[in-house]
Amino acid sequence: MGAGVIKGGGGGSRRRRGRSRAAPMSEINVTPFVDVMLVLLIIFMVAAPLLTVGVPVELPDTAAEALSVDQEEPLTVSVQAGGGLAIQTTEIADDDLIPRLRAIAAERDSQRIFLQADETVAYARVVQVMGALNAAGFTDIGLITDTDGPTFGG
């Protein structure tokens, strides 16, 4: 911001002969400052809503923590190719699944259950088993998969 100059002399059509003396102006001109600030305000008001654009997704709440290294052997429920069930390596009937899991879980520290299913098993069967586990109060369920799956271009 530069200092302005006020020229001395009166108004009208009368000209003075000789040199007029310029006196320095002691006020700061804030008009350019206000103009720049208003332009910046408008830019930020227009740009701020554009920064929050995204795909509307309802994300689940989580308080996930890393698994400890010295954790006990995981409890695994398997859905076999024919649709049969097994806890660890012991085959069981559908009606025996929840009572046995409750008995086993009462003696364990961790309530996590891993569910694995053969790739030929219908999705509906896997979801039925998962729903039965959830309805019985087992909410910490993990799905076991292989890591050599398709990347879908990623």
pLDDT digits (tens, 9 = 90+) for 34-71: 999 999 999 988 888 776 544 353 434 444 444 454 46
Whether the full predicted model's pTM is greater than 0.75, yes or no, is no
CATH of the domain at 141: 3.30.420.270
Tens of pLDDT, residue by residue over 123-135, are 899 899 999 999 9
CA 25/CA 31 separation, integer angstroms: 15
Give ∠ CA 97-61-107 in degrees, rounded to 5: 35
Domain total of the chain: 1
Continuous segment of H or E residues that includes residue 116: strand 113-117
- Residue 15, SS3? coil
Residue pair 21/8 in contact (Cβ under 8 Å)? The answer is yes
- Is position 90 within any domain? yes
- Is position 43 within any domain? no
| Ramachandran category for residue 116: left, alpha or beta (phi over 0 → left; psi -120 to 50 → alpha) | beta
